[in-house]
Amino acid sequence: MISIKYSIIDAWVITKRQLMQLIRVPEVLVFSTIQPVMFVLLFRYVFGGLGAGIKGGYVQLLMPGIFVQTVAFTLAATAQGLAQDMEKGLIDRFRSLPIARSAVVIGRTLGDGLLNVVVLFVMGITGFIVGWRPSSSILHIGFGFLTLLLFGYSLSWIGIFMGLIARDARAVANITFLTIFPLTFLSNAFASTTTMPRALQYFAEWNPVSTMVAAARDLFGFHNTFGATAGSFPSQHPLPMSYIYMGLIMLVFIPLSVRRYTKKSR
Amino acid sequence: MAVKSIIAENLVKHYRHGEVKALDGLSLEVEEGTVLSLLGPNGAGKTTTVRILSTLLQPDSGHATVAGIDALKEPAKVRSIIGLSGQYAAVDETLTGWDNLVMFGRLYHLSNAQAQARATELLAQFSLSDDARRPIKTFSGGMRRRLDLAASLIIKPRVLFLDEPTTGLDPRGRQEMWGVIENLVSEGVTLLLTTQYLEEADQLADCIAVVDHGRVIAEGTSDELKNRIGGERIEVIVAESDITRAAEVMKRISGTEVTIDKGVRRLAAAAPKGSQSLLELVRELDVEKIHPLDLALKRPSLDDVFLSLTGRPAEEDLPETDALATTGPKGRKAAKGGKK
């Protein structure tokens, strides 16, 4: 039997492989940071005027939104990375090794999660430079970032599943983009949901992205009133609701993905 | 009695919910320390067999035993004693050769120091030491394959599976790879090798199993297979104007029909007395003042074997089923344009 100890070591070796890739091909790290930074700057200065009347300006509202959008895209990165490994036959090799069945998928989600640490750090600095000022305690801010990382991590597991079932890496890129992009915009991340059509408002309100954004705004000390159809559970309790969503996602997708990976006897 | 390192019994595997039959009762045995080559065209079921024996795939029915371990019931045990190298270099291309070997060493649960020592050793063994710190992306096809093979040898496996190890390599790369494989075999590893190249099976294998449509249709040493379709043949290439006369001479010596390929001006016939027949032919041609451009005594090639066994040449391509065998019903790599 493969012991717990080796399951952890195996997963860590896979994670380390991704970190090594970042060292060998620094462009990946540069591009995964440049894009969110560019978004921060664009949104900050293009839509900055929307924030008239908001204390501290639009950037206080924007930063949590853009943090969430960025970590949400981890789903796409995970799915694509895995699909590429499968295409190259690397997954077959891993499967022929005497390692824990969970190692490859856990290793990948952790690797993508660690990349998010760097990306969020750089974005936070950028945000601070352009006027973002979290007003809560250092503990709240830390908890805010931790929650963001966990949110990205849980979505990573959907990415694993999509990567495992998809036909090829290019298809994965398209599908994940078409999923995440609308999901992050049909939310309270960049604009108030009050101006959306009624049906979209409901969707936006229950959208995990919205609850996560609202939770992050709260934790960073910017109280967010969260849209129009006030009174719904997610709008009242964004933080617990975010954790419920994360729990549900992982509860469903971790077993599903590990089973899919193990049984991939095609 | 010799110990059997690999036993496959009646393996059956369907893809795409039974629509495509990849294996149709395939059975084979490999004695410890010997090389068996699975020879067959694309889509014959070679890769599927390797995937089952190396625990990547469960058959619909049948048994598979590797080094005495039931590969279907105890796949984890099998994984710790086998090495597998597939049709394309399955290594991380963004990393260096060194990174890859150390990573795989760690995944075989070597300590960091052990993994590094083994990587150094393997890189030297495969003449890759000088390129160890370059990303695999910059490697030639032959170098990639060698590194891939090195990665499958980290734990000195008792049983090694090589799935078309030279497909897509240029002649030089192929020669290098053959040298490497011959060395491994001389160290006593049991090897199951699949190939589409008849030459390769001839060169490397102790025993050849010809596979077609998911089953073994013939088995034996290269010589045994060749003997099945008769003895040696003489081939002569002459000037166009000499074809008719040369054919008459050959017919007289051979006593059988002469096959004439007008396009390349090649005549071929059986050589009932082997090299003696060749000598006779040379004398007769000289008397007739016919100057052959090329003259050879040939043993039947494995191509001939395949043709006589299946009634069609070995090169016949079945891309559809091949994609299935190598990549599963989704045709993952097929969509990407086949193997590299």
With an 8 Å Cβ cutoff, are A98 and B58 in contact? no
Supply B12's token pair: 């059956």
Cα of B313 vs its chain's centroid, Å: 16
ipTM: 0.87
Phi, psi at residue A251, to the nearest 5°?
A: -60, -35
Domain of B190, CATH number, reads 3.40.50.300
Residue B332 pLDDT > 70: no
| Closest-CA residue to B211 (of B71, B41, B327) | B41
Residue A46 pLDDT > 50: yes
Residue B329 pLDDT > 70: no
Q: Are residues B75 and B164 in the same domain?
A: yes
Q: Are residues B256 and B316 in the same domain?
A: no
- Mean pLDDT, residues A147-162: 96
Q: Are residues B241 and B220 in the same domain?
A: no
Q: Which residues of A touch B336 (CB under 8 A)?
A: 87, 168
Residue A61, amino acid: L
Q: Which residues of A touch B95 (CB under 8 A)?
A: 17, 20-21, 24
- Give B 143-172 residues with CB within 8 A of chain A: 151
CB within 8 A of B76, min separation 6: which ones? A1, A2, A98
Helix spans in A73-188 (H) = 74-87, 90-95, 103-129, 138-165, 169-185
Question: How far apart (Å, rounded) are the C-alpha atoms in residues B186 and B95?
Answer: 31
Q: Are residues B14 and B69 in the same domain?
A: yes
> Edge-to-edge strands of the sheet including B61-66?
B20-31, B4-15, B61-66, B69-70
Interface test with A, best of B58, B94, B95, B327 (most A CBs within 10 A): B94
pLDDT of residue A47: 81
Domain of B249, CATH number, reads 3.30.70.100
Domain annotation covers residue B118: no
Contact between A42 and A80 (Cβ < 8 Å): no
Residue B290 touches partner A, C-beta closer than 8 Å:
no
- Mean pLDDT, residues B54-69: 93
CB within 8 A of B147, min separation 6: which ones? B89, B91, B97, B100, B101, B126, B128, B136, B139
Question: How far apart (Å, rounded) are the C-alpha atoms in residues B285 and B291?
Answer: 7
Backbone φ/ψ region at B156: left (φ over 0), alpha (ψ -120 to 50), beta: left
Reported as a pLDDT band with limits 50, 70 and 90, residue B328 is very low
Ranking A38-47, A112-121, A192-201 by mean pLDDT, the lowest is A192-201
Residue B80 touches partner A, C-beta closer than 8 Å:
yes
| Closest-CA residue to B30 (of B212, B208, B218, B217) | B208
With an 8 Å Cβ cutoff, are A87 and B93 in contact? no
Q: Are residues B164 and B197 in the same domain?
A: yes
For residue A89, give the nearest of B76, B86, B94 by CB distance.
B86
Q: Are residues B215 and B242 in the same domain?
A: no
The SS3 of residue B7 is strand
Q: Which residues of B touch A103 (CB under 8 A)?
A: 107
Residues making up chain B, counted from first to last: 340
Residues making up chain A, counted from first to last: 266
Residue B305 pLDDT > 80: no
For residue A168, give the nearest of B54, B109, B335 by CB distance.
B335
Q: Which residues of A touch B328 (CB under 8 A)?
A: 266
Residue B135 touches partner A, C-beta closer than 8 Å:
yes
- Mean pLDDT, residues B98-125: 94
Q: Are residues B67 and B162 in the same domain?
A: yes
Reported as a pLDDT band with limits 50, 70 and 90, residue A228 is very low
Structure-model confidence comparison of residues B299 and B36, the more confident one? B36
Q: Are residues B319 and B221 in the same domain?
A: yes
Cα of A88 vs its chain's centroid, Å: 26
The vertex-A125 CA angle with A124 and A130, nearest 5°, equals: 95
Supply B214's token pair: 């998911």
Question: How far apart (Å, rounded) are the C-alpha atoms in residues A105 and A160?
Answer: 7
Q: Which residues of A touch B57 (CB under 8 A)?
A: 265-266
Q: Which residues of B touch A8 (CB under 8 A)?
A: none
Question: Which range marks the domain in which residue B278 is found?
Answer: 232-298
Counting the structural domains of chain B, the total is 2
Highest mean pLDDT among A145-149, B91-95, B285-289, B303-307 belongs to: A145-149
Domain annotation covers residue B264: yes
Q: Is the dihedral of CA B48, B54, B58, B59 positive or negative?
A: positive
Residue B82 touches partner A, C-beta closer than 8 Å:
yes
For residue A97, give the nearest of B87, B108, B336 by CB distance.
B108
